Each structure stands twice: as C-alpha cells, then as structure tokens.
Amino acid sequence: MIIDMPDTTTNLINKRLVRLRDEGGAVALGRVLTLVVLADEQDVEESVEAANDASREHPCRVIVVAPSKPGSDARLDAQIRVGGDAGASEVVVLHAFGPLLERTDTLVMPLLLPDAPIVAWWPREAPAVPSQDPVGAMAARRIIDSTTAENPADLLKSLSGAYAPGDTDLAWARVTLWRALIAAAVEQPPFEPVLSVTVEGQKRHTSLDLLAAWLGTRLNCPAEVVRTGSDDAITRVTLERRSGPIVLDRPDGRTVTITQPGKPARRIALPIRALNEALIEELRRLDPDEIFEETLIRGLKQVTTRTAA
C-alpha cells in the first residue's frame, strides 16, 4: 500500500504511521534499526528496493530523504509505503523543498524509532566527512558507496582521511567472498610467505583498492592494482610465492577459477554482488569495523596503481 501525503509535516506523517500500526497494516514492534537513506531523486526507487530486500533480514523503518528543488519555497511532500510495497519494513519517502534541505536531521528526528540504532546510507554522493553530516552525526553506522560516486577514488581517499568509527563502504562488503576464498587458498600447503599481490579489474571500481589494501596489510607485502577496460569489477587476483603464484581468475563476473602449483584447478561460483546483498552484509554489524579501518587508513596508502595498456 502506498499513501501520498503532499504538502505535509513530519508530525502528520508520524500520526499516520501510528494510525496504520493501530489498524494492523504496519507493525513497528520488532524493528531492529532505523535506516536513513540520503538519496538523489534518480536513486530513490533502486534504494527503496534494496532497503526492502535488506529489511527481510533486518526488520527496520526506512526513511528516504530525496532533495527536490533547492530554490523553491519550504514544503515537504511525503509518501508512506507499507505491506507488499515495503518488504518487512515501513518506508517513508520525504521530498524536501527549499530551506528544509539545510537541516535534514530535523526532518528525520520525529520519525526515528525510539531506542533503535540509526544507520545512515548515501547511495551515490556522500559528504567529505560523513560523521559530521547532520544525519551522520546521529548514526551508529554510516554507509557510503564509493563505486557509484562521480569520482570513486577521490571519495575513498576522502573517507580514509576523515574516517570515524562506524564509517563503512559498500565496496568493502563486495569483497567479503573474495577475502574468504583468498584466505582459504593461502592457508593450504606449502606454507610460504606471499611476496607480492596484484588485483586487476574495472577502472572505476574501488573494491580493487580495498582488496589490495587488505591483502597488503594482512600479508605484509607490496600490493598493486591494475586497472583494465573490463566491466566486471574484480577479474583477477595474483599472489606471488616462491613455489609459484596463486591465481584467482574471474573473467566473466560469475565463476572464479583458482589455480596454484601442485593442485588441480578449482572452479567456484562467485557472481558480482548486487546492491541489496552488499547492503544486507553491512547491516549485519552495527559496531565499528576495525579491519576496514586498518585497511582504509594504513593499507590504502601503500597500494600502487597502474592502468593496463
């Protein structure tokens, strides 16, 4: 069910949510968090769809703030989605106009669930310092997605210089399965140190940088990113050892082939993670991610980068 509320107030929205709950159409009890999505107008539907999928594992209230015309008079249009249009959540989409855009936290605060942690998510462009954003300052976790930004590398670099506990990046969630596969391969005999690491893939995809940074810090070796013309995110990871390289090759974005000396090649399904899968992954923890912090602050600056000819 979708309820449109043009030219309204947060107080009226809250009353309508309470009425819906009393009527049995939406239940706020059992919600584990409030997910605040600070989206561009073009990203609203995709963001709501991903949040709805995530809510089936993490029941929550989703508040989407979508800025409209900044030069207009102050006005707030809202849309409430419940039932089949909201997954296991209740969704409130706020279209703010004019001066209301200056303090998005005042729009969000009346709609927050009491005693539930807050997660802020920027699906595209994010502030240079997420923890100092009005909504980000209220949140226990702040999620950006550097892969969708206009300048992905710049946003990731900005986050590394302004990191605060609770910051994270969906590009990091997208390498979780890679990290598990690589750890399993390295821990098999012969137990040799890794001399160097190379991560190859799509030019704009910041998951390459984060995976290389993590490998460099964990294995204490040089790490290089090779940017190619591929459209399939990470396509190859090579770990050089004295006995020969461990190679994880995923040219098609679906299946990875693992080869290493003295062992038969193994093929494992490893499709590129969709937006909803990455979001679900990040909502599984609300405490600071120390490994991501070390990767971002210490590992990223040690990674070298080149573009394939």
Residues of the chain with CATH 3.40.50: 2-170
Beta bridge partners of 238: 198, 247
pTM value is: 0.92
CA distance 39 to 67: 8
Taking the CA atoms of residue 263, residue 264, residue 265 and residue 267 in that order, the dihedral angle to the nearest 10 degrees is -110
Q: Which two tokens stand for residue 67?
A: 């800025």
Which amino acid type is present at position 191?
F
Q: If one looks up domain 2-170 in CATH, what number appears?
A: 3.40.50
- How much is the pLDDT for 69? 64
- How much is the pLDDT for 30? 66
Instruction: Pick the closest to residue 299 from 194, 213, 199 (CA basis).
Output: 213
Note down pLDDT in tens along the chain; length 309 residues. 889 999 999 999 999 988 887 776 445 456 889 999 999 888 999 999 999 999 888 889 999 998 876 666 888 999 999 887 777 788 999 998 888 877 889 999 999 988 899 999 999 999 989 999 999 999 999 999 999 999 999 999 999 999 999 999 999 999 999 999 999 999 988 889 999 999 999 999 999 999 999 999 999 999 999 999 888 899 999 999 999 999 999 999 999 999 999 899 999 999 999 999 999 999 998 999 999 999 999 999 999 999 987
- How much is the pLDDT for 250? 96
- How much is the pLDDT for 20? 83
CA 3 → CA 74, 77, 82, 85, 166, distances in Å?
21, 11, 9, 11, 33
Q: Phi, psi at residue 265, to the nearest 5°?
A: -65, 145
